[in-house]
């Protein structure tokens, strides 16, 4: 620790206490902050924030910063204490991180009981994810459901409508959400199933 001495009324120069290599520091240091702690006191009493190191001289009140040093003008008894400086550096390269994820969708309802030849509907809203989920695939009894017949399945996006239900339509339905990062088998399958059954039908 460097000890500096000054008489009351003089100027005290705390030289190069924050920069060991001023040439390198001028390229990288964004700004320096100074702290003072009184002898025997563990609490920071006040803080002086100095200028960017690229500016040769700038100050406020009795405190002046210059190339990593600090000048205290007209020193007073209460200026006695420990002085600490902190260096803050500019980022030379900026990086960002985007985390891709996809939550499991929720299918509703869990059970659907209809009469034969009635319509049945299941819903599967797009879940949260990055990139934004774009598709829902419908699964019946563990196999991807072919919904190309628009008369049988008038809606098959986030809502699955099954027209004129018959016994072949009964079973367990699930939905699978997909986005650009999670597609096909990597898509997220709904944790729950929706069971479709016919009222008073014996199999």
Domains of the chain: 12-89 (2.60.40.10), 101-198 (2.60.40.10)
Per the model's pLDDT, the better-predicted residue between 23 and 30 turns out to be 30
Cα–Cα distance, 39 to 44 (Å, whole number): 11
pLDDT given for residue 166 in this prediction: 95
pLDDT given for residue 69 in this prediction: 74
Cα–Cα distance, 146 to 144 (Å, whole number): 6
Tell me: pLDDT of 49 over 90: no
Does the predicted TM-score (pTM) go above 0.75? no
Stretch 21-35: mean pLDDT: 55
Tell me: pLDDT of 65 over 50: yes
Which residues are CB-neighbours of 3 under 8 A, at least 6 positions away? none
Tell me: pLDDT of 32 over 70: no
Per the model's pLDDT, the better-predicted residue between 79 and 126 turns out to be 126
Which residues are CB-neighbours of 4 under 8 A, at least 6 positions away? 12, 13, 14
pLDDT given for residue 15 in this prediction: 67
Report the chain's mean pLDDT, rounded to a whole number: 78
Cα–Cα distance, 28 to 34 (Å, whole number): 18
* Cis geometry, peptide bond prior to residue 131 (ω within 30 degrees of 0): yes
Q: How many helices (H) and strands (E) does the chain have?
A: 1, 17
Among the ranges given (61-70, 88-97, 145-154, 193-202), the one the predictor scored with the smallest mean pLDDT: 88-97
User: Tell me: the pLDDT tens digits for 125-183?
Assistant: 999 988 888 899 999 999 999 999 999 999 999 999 999 999 999 999 999 999 989 99
pLDDT given for residue 159 in this prediction: 97
pLDDT given for residue 73 in this prediction: 80
* Token pair for 141: 């009894």
Cα–Cα distance, 165 to 173 (Å, whole number): 14
| Share of residues in the chain with pLDDT > 70 (%) | 67
């Amino acid at each position: 620790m460097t000890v500096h001495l000054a008489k009351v009324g003089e100027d005290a120069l705390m030289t190069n206490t924050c920069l060991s290599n001023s040439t390198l520091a001028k390229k990288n240091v964004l700004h320096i902050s100074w702290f003072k702690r009184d002898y025997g006191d563990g609490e920071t009493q006040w803080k002086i924030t100095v200028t960017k190191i690229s500016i040769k001289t700038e100050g406020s009140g009795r405190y002046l910063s210059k190339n990593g040093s600090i000048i205290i003008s007209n020193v007073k008894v209460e200026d006695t204490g420990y002085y600490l400086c902190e260096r803050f550096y500019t980022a030379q390269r900026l990086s960002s991180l985007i985390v891709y994820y996809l939550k499991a969708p929720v299918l509703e309802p869990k059970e659907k009981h209809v009469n034969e030849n009635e319509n049945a509907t299941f819903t599967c809203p797009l879940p949260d994810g990055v990139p934004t989920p774009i598709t829902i695939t419908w699964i019946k009894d563990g196999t991807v459901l072919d919904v190309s017949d628009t008369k049988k399945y008038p809606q098959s996006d986030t809502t699955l409508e099954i027209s004129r239900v018959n016994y072949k339509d009964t079973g367990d339905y699930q939905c699978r959400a997909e986005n650009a990062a999670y597609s096909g088998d990597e898509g997220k399958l709904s944790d729950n199933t929706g069971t479709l059954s016919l009222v008073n039908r014996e199999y």
